[in-house]
Copies of this chain bind each other. A is one copy, B any other.
Amino acid sequence: MAAARHCTLDLRLGAQADCEAILKSLRSVFQEQGMTESLHAWQDHGCLATYLNKNGSFANLRIYPRGLVSLDIQSYDGAAQAKEVDSLLNKVEERMKELSRDSPARVKRLPPIVRGGAVDRYWPTADGRLVEYDIDEVVCDEESPYQNIKILHSKQYGNMLILNGDVNLAESDWAYTRAIMGSGKEDYTGKDVLILGGGDGGILCEIVKLKPKMATMVEIDHMVIDGCKKYMRKTCGDVLDNLTGDCYQVLIEDCVPVLKRYAKEGRQFDYVINDLTAVPISTSLEEDSTWEFLRLILDLSMRVLKQDGKYFTQGNCVNLTEALSLYEQQLGCLYCPVEFSKEVVCVPSYMELWVFYTVWKKAQP
């Protein structure tokens, strides 16, 4: 299949780089492999040597005059070429260490990046960092009318639900479900609960165990439910097998008209749990309609929340301070005054710390 293996090896020198000396020291390693050199030198920007191998692999050795030497080797993803490339990298690494013997320098070799593999292991964090997951299987990959739905298997996290490229929840992420239910501090027995979104069934499954009066979940995408019912059973148990039970019901609907209907009817809940998408990352309030959507949901949710009820939701990665503070500003613009608290939680599969909010109506004077 189509996949390439991309290796990198960098030498950061403590001083200016002497292109000629570095080339002289390293090029023989490539030539010994039968690779042919093409050299390009800039007037002021150092040089780039490209080494081509008959088997289709190639290397780029870029020497920046200000003291950085970067080496990239790209080859077919296969055991034989990988071994050859690793042995070549070992030799270059050794020479790089010799080159840096007399000055404070740093040699850094990263794990190889697999490009275009059948199983995509790279799902960046919400704050834009590159992370590689231990994914070994594509369990499902489908387009619904609303989004791309992937369930991928991670060796350590179990099956992971990824919606439109966003890691939503893995079977290991009980910490997410616990946090968005109020961190074990709430008593759901006999209570009326409304869950917005939550198609993976994790929240519903936990709440049903706690014997609520009625838990109503409103999820727009039937295909998410079908996928999770089948492949995320450690998360949802059997609550998605039937869409109704003794103390729960699942509505396959857009939550906005449902909320409007409940508000009109004067129906109120002890708990509203918003498990829709995370707080938007964009900080341009005017341009972004997702902020408007978020405010609409918040406003409607407060209308169907009892005066002493609680609203739980996720925020976003703790590093996205601007987006989070913009969200907190929105909480000041609702039809009724509210107060809130937040908690930072480590959700295993997210590979970043996540903020969760509790919102409640301000006590009436």
Contacts and interface: CB of A to CB of B under 8 A. Distances in A.
Nearest to A128: B111
A328 interface: no
A108 B120 contact: yes
Nearest to A347: B346
Interface stretch (A24-32, A43-51, A209-217, A277-285): A43-51
A80 interface: no
A2 B6 contact: no
A45 B56 contact: yes
Interface string A8-37: 101111000100000000000000000000
Nearest to A54: B42
Given A116-B70, A156-B318, A175-B346, A111 B132 contact: no
A124 interface: yes
A133 B129 contact: yes
Which size class do A's interface residues fall under? 35 or more
A353 interface: yes
A173 to B, nearest CB: 9
A116 B48 contact: no
Interface string A331-365: 00000000000000010100111000000000000
B124 A110 contact: yes
Contact of A129 (B1, B127, B134, B172): B134
A228 interface: no
30 contacts: A2-B66, A4-B62, A4-B64, A6-B8, A6-B72, A8-B115, A11-B116, A38-B50, A42-B54, A42-B56, A46-B56, A48-B52, A50-B50, A56-B64, A58-B60, A58-B62, A62-B74, A67-B116, A70-B115, A72-B72, A106-B116, A106-B120, A108-B116, A108-B122, A110-B130, A131-B132, A134-B319, A156-B319, A156-B352, A351-B351
Interface of A: 1-4, 6, 8, 10-13, 17, 38, 40, 42, 44-46, 48, 50, 52, 54-56, 58, 60, 62, 64, 66-68, 70, 72, 74, 76, 106, 108, 110-111, 113, 115-116, 120-122, 124, 127-134, 155-157, 172, 175, 317-319, 346, 348, 351-353
